[in-house]
């Protein structure tokens, strides 16, 4: 589903990424870990299109995305969440998710809205249904009418996840999704992520969360992939232990 092939990025003399290659299969959750400065954020920026690599390719479902803008990547089904949550505080939880669907437009423009065309009403119903489905998936149904600004950070993060999932992304990038969450909220988030059928790439410092949530793990150190494997393989890998786990 996602293939990163020989990606390198240099900042002056620093090789932030140095020939990074790995693949993530359809529907799998892949975690990227590594010590500070390993290149995780740079890798995320390359995959989401915020930074163009000096060398290498990023493919999604076989399509080369390397020169494709972040907006076009979004249209192709890629979504990203950020370390600092980005939700509309003045909207309710349900409207936050609805707003994430609205950018597709309803077709027919304002005239169709005013005329209340049947096609438009059907679309509206489908949207409401999708919102309800996503809220349920993220455990937010009881909070659907709460204002996002009033929610604690753990819930806001779930709202952000719900927004990212609203129109069924093909690939979801999560940047330190547990930051600011307590243990209970972290467990809940892990359950939601595991229940998704979307392909997920996440960067995370919380090792317990990574080991419990991910199918595959990519370990970066000084811009290079030093190991890839299942959580059990990574835990046992002598190179990883030496470089990172201690
Ligand atoms: N804009 C930049 N200009 C110069 N050097 C940079 C820039 N961004 C990152 N670097 C350097 O590239 C290397 C990789 O940084 P990156 O932020 O990708 O690592 P990271 O694994 O995300 O680290 P952290 O866990 O601390 O967030 C580091 O040596 C960093 O100092």
Q: What is the CA radius of gyration of the chain?
A: 19
Please give the residue range of the domain that contains residue 105.
Answer: 87-167
Same domain assignment for residues 69 and 59:
yes
Considering only CA atoms, which of 158, 159, 188, 186 is closest in space to residue 94? 159
Q: Whose CA is nearest to atom 29 of ligand 1?
A: 37
Residue 244, pLDDT above cutoff 90: no
Q: How many domains does the chain have?
A: 2
Give pLDDT tens digits for 81-106: 876 677 888 899 999 999 888 655 55
Q: Is residue 82 part of a domain?
A: no
- For residue 62, the CA-to-ligand 1 centroid distance in Å is 28
Residue 109, pLDDT above cutoff 80: no
Residue 7 CB–ligand 1 contact under 6 Å: no
Same domain assignment for residues 67 and 110:
no
Residue 242 CB–ligand 1 contact under 6 Å: no
Give pLDDT tens digits for 170-223: 999 999 999 888 888 889 899 999 998 899 999 998 989 999 999 999 999 999
For residue 205, count CB atoms less than 10 angstroms from its CB and return exposed for 0-12, middle for 13-18, buried for 19 or more: middle
CATH number at residue 27: 3.40.50.300
Cβ–Cβ under 8 Å, residues 58 and 116? no
Residue 78 CB–ligand 1 contact under 6 Å: no
Same domain assignment for residues 124 and 176:
no
Beta bridge partners of 72: none
Mean pLDDT of 5-14: 95
Report how far residue 199's alpha carbon sits from residue 193's, in angstroms, rounded to the nearest whole number: 10
- For residue 12, the CA-to-ligand 1 centroid distance in Å is 12
Report how far residue 43's alpha carbon sits from residue 5's, in angstroms, rounded to the nearest whole number: 12
Choose one of 106, 137, 167: the last residue of a domain. 167
pTM: 0.87
- For residue 22, the CA-to-ligand 1 centroid distance in Å is 20
Considering only CA atoms, which of 165, 132, 162 is closest in space to residue 148? 162
Residues in Cβ contact with 156 at an 8 Å cutoff, skipping those fewer than 6 apart: 85, 87, 148
- For residue 36, the CA-to-ligand 1 centroid distance in Å is 8
Residue 92 CB–ligand 1 contact under 6 Å: no
Report how far residue 179's alpha carbon sits from residue 172's, in angstroms, rounded to the nearest whole number: 17
Report how far residue 234's alpha carbon sits from residue 164's, in angstroms, rounded to the nearest whole number: 29
Residue 37 CB–ligand 1 contact under 6 Å: yes
Give pLDDT tens digits for 19-68: 999 999 999 999 999 988 999 999 999 999 999 999 999 999 999 998 88
Residue 46 CB–ligand 1 contact under 6 Å: no
Cβ–Cβ under 8 Å, residues 162 and 148? no
Q: Residue 243 corresponds to which tokens in the numbers above? A: 């470089």
Same domain assignment for residues 120 and 68:
no
Beta bridge partners of 107: none
| Model confidence band, residue 122 (pLDDT cutoffs 50, 70, 90) | confident
Report how far residue 25's alpha carbon sits from residue 216's, in angstroms, rounded to the nearest whole number: 9
Residue with tokens 């030093």: 226
Residue 33 CB–ligand 1 contact under 6 Å: no
For residue 52, count CB atoms less than 10 angstroms from its CB and return exposed for 0-12, middle for 13-18, buried for 19 or more: exposed
Same domain assignment for residues 141 and 200:
no
The complex's ipTM works out to 0.94
Cα–Cα distances in angstroms (integers) from residue 171 to residues 12, 174, 179, 191, 197, in the given order: 31, 10, 21, 18, 10
Cα–Cα distances in angstroms (integers) from residue 31 to residues 16, 98, 106, 124, 175, in the given order: 18, 29, 36, 36, 10
Choose one of 137, 167, 197: the last residue of a domain. 167
Report how far residue 74's alpha carbon sits from residue 160's, in angstroms, rounded to the nearest whole number: 15
Q: Whose CA is nearest to atom 17 of ligand 1?
A: 41
Q: Whose CA is nearest to atom 30 of ligand 1?
A: 37
Looking at the CA of residue 39, tell me the nearest atom of ligand 1: 18
Q: Is residue 101 part of a domain?
A: yes
């Amino acid at each position: 589903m996602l293939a990163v092939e020989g990606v390198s990025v240099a900042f002056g003399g620093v090789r932030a990424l140095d020939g990074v290659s790995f693949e993530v299969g359809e529907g799998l959750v892949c975690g990227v870990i590594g010590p500070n400065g390993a290149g995780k954020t740079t890798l995320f920026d390359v995959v989401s299109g915020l930074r163009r690599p000096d060398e290498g390719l990023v493919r999604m479902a076989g399509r080369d995305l390397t020169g494709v803008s972040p907006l076009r990547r979004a249209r192709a089904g890629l979504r990203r969440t950020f370390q600092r949550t980005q939700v509309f505080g003045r909207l309710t939880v349900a409207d936050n998710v609805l707003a994430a669907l609205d950018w597709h437009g309803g077709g027919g423009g304002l005239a169709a809205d005013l005329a209340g065309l049947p096609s438009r009403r059907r679309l509206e119903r489908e949207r409401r249904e999708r919102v309800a489905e996503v809220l349920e998936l993220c455990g937010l149904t009881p909070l659907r009418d709460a204002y996002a600004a009033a929610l604690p950070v753990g819930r806001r993060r779930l709202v952000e996840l719900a927004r990212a999932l609203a129109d069924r992304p093909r690939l979801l990038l999560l940047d330190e999704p547990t930051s600011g969450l307590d243990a209970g909220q972290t467990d809940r988030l892990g359950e939601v992520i595991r229940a998704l059928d979307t392909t997920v790439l996440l960067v995370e410092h919380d090792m317990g969360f990574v080991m419990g949530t991910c199918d595959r793990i990519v370990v970066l150190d000084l811009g290079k992939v030093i190991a890839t494997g299942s959580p059990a393989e990574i835990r046992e890998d002598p190179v990883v232990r030496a470089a990172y786990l201690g």
